[in-house]
Structure 1
Amino acid sequence: MSQRMGTKLFISRLSFFTTTEQLKVLFSPFGVITEANLVLDSRTRRPKGFGFVSYESEIQAEKAVKAMNGRIVDGRLIFVEPAKVE
């Protein structure tokens, strides 16, 4: 049937002004966050507009995807999906 979702989410199209702390606050209503980080440009050290959030359980991650995918955050339409694990 379907593959297990996992607990790590990929969030894209974030505002370049979103902070890691804001990301945690935004996604905390759906469960216990074990890790949250924004991907930074190696040269400028500024956010690239995407990041990752990890939860304690798959159920919490699923709730976050359902609630946050396609929402407007800081004037931007964001996308939330399970992170691809290699």
Structure 2
Amino acid sequence: MIMLYTTQEQLKKLFSPFGLVTQADLALDPITKRPKGFGFVSFKSEIEAEKALRAMNGRIVSGRLILVELANEK
């Protein structure tokens, strides 16, 4: 979970030390348009994504535990 007041730019900045972030999106409630507490980050390469996964999964950020997983393609 990420902080509910985290912006897309902050999410991108949080993950940018691990590689080129090509996209950072926050999941929003469709009715209230407020953040749901999670998001998606895309990297230029799979290696960068794996590096971010290893470094960020289980880390505490702003008092909240961050869980990072590779997204399943649909």
Residue 19 of structure 1: CA displacement?
Answer: 1.0
Structure with bigger RCO (C-alpha 8 Å, 6+ apart):
1
Work out the number of aligned pairs and report it. 74
Q: Which residues of structure 1 form unaligned runs of 5+?
A: 1-12
Q: Give the superposed CA RMSD.
A: 0.7
- The answer for the alignment partner of 1:70 in structure 2 is 58
Residue 78 of structure 1: CA displacement?
Answer: 0.9
Q: Which has the higher helix share?
A: 2
Q: Helix, strand or coil: the match of 1:80?
A: coil
Q: Which has the higher strand share?
A: 1
Asked whether 1:14 is paired with 2:6, we answer no
- Quick one: percent identity of the two aligned structures? 65
In 2, the alpha carbon distance for the partners of 1:72 and 1:17 equals: 16
TM-score scaled by length of structure 2: 0.96
Q: Which residues of structure 2 form unaligned runs of 5+?
A: none
